[in-house]
Amino acid sequence: MLWMPIFLAGRACGALAVFNMEKNVFFGSDVDILDFISSQVASIIELYLRMDEVTVTDFLTGLVARPYFLERMREESLRSERYGAPVSVVKVTLKPTDPLDTSLQRRIIPEAAERVKQVVRRSDTVARCGEWSFSVILPETGSEGAQAVVGKLEAEMGRLARDRMDQEGGLAAETKFICYPESEPDREQFVATSTSEYA
């Protein structure tokens, strides 16, 4: 057996184990090939780890992905500060009976995403920011407008739960919002609070 370490950014992150059943020794050419393979595996792991940083779209829903949401959040808060218009963020978290059920997630999340998009304006940014959560950036929207969106989203998620009751069992939803500058007058704190759960 031969162990080849896999390095990422100069640190060992794993090892490639190779078993040779036919002979008890490895030749130099075998070691060179295994070294090449371990470097390729490291490249694939690094690419996989960086995908979350560069992805704009969530693969399951087609919504904006978390990294893009974070960038838009910073941009909208700066624009709000500069022009004096409020900005709000609404978060919707679905609470299924079994949050670890990935097949349930694949069935529910795309439909929930479509329903969230139907409730908000085209100018709003809808993102999937967690396994079971969505966030909506509402430009030029104060607390009163955000509360109205929360009401619509709660009603829509309630309909989703009723429509899916027979197939999926219990499904609840939690909604909350934060508004700059009304509920949070400090812009940096607003951004931190809006994005802290997703960082």
**Could you give all domains of the chain from N- to C-terminal order, each with its CATH number?**
2-52 (no CATH), 64-198 (3.30.70.270)
* Rounded to 5°, angle at Cα 84 from 78 and 86: 80
Tokens of 188: 């940096």
Whether the predicted model's global pTM rises above the 0.75 cut: no
pLDDT of residue 195: 80
Question: Which residues in the chain land under pLDDT 70?
Answer: 1-31, 34, 38, 43-55, 166-169, 197-199
Contact between 63 and 125 (Cβ < 8 Å): no
Gap between the terminal Cα atoms of the chain:
41
Which residues lie below 8 Å from residue 193, measured CB to CB, with a gap of 6+? 178, 184
pLDDT of residue 78: 94
